[in-house]
Amino acid sequence: MRLICMILFIPYLAIKSIRERISVSIASRMLRKEYLCFFGARISASCKISPGVKVNGKRNLTLNDNVFVGSNCTFVCYEEPIVIGKNTLIAQDCFIITRNHKFNVDSPIREQGYTNNPVKIGDDVWIGAKCVILPGVNIGNGAIVAAGSVVTRSVASHHVVGGVPARVISVRR
């Protein structure tokens, strides 16, 4: 395994100049967008998608103008859409999901199927690192979600929320 990693990484090290390394990084970012769009995602040309981003249900993902998605984020949107507004920042390791298990006591959970609810994130929103956004949540324009938060309910515009579960901390003025 170590040998395979070295074989794949050595050509990158052979690129001597910073300019060449930046152009390789830009090319890989463009390939990530093209790959997602090929499978049905709607992604603005001005979006930036970092390495390690995973999307399950690509056809239900919409990223509007100037959205930044940090590394290792996961979007799960099989049946319902995830729509992210303009100029939104999503830090690394966030998890946004539109699906949840049903959990009646009548039968085993694994046999009950799923509930699906869309997630909408407004314009000019900042989502801190390692946040979890659950099905059915709407985050209003200009809101901030503190790092490590679990958002279980909708967030009003210009509110700052944080915690597990996320609660209002303040209002932006």
Q: Name the nearest CA neighbour of 94 among 39, 142, 147, 167.
A: 147
Rounded-to-integer distance, Cα 121 and Cα 107, Å: 34
Helical (H) or strand (E) element with 151: strand 150-151
Q: Confirm if 97 and 121 have CB atoms less than 8 A apart.
A: no
Catalytic annotation present for 158:
no
Q: Confirm if 152 and 137 have CB atoms less than 8 A apart.
A: yes
Active-site residue (options: 101, 102, 167, 172): 101
Q: Name the nearest CA neighbour of 134 among 162, 83, 163, 99.
A: 99
List beta partners, residue 151: 133
Extract the tokens encoding 143: 């809101």
SS (H, E, C) 97-112: ECEEECCCCCCCHHHC
List the catalytic residues. Answer: 101
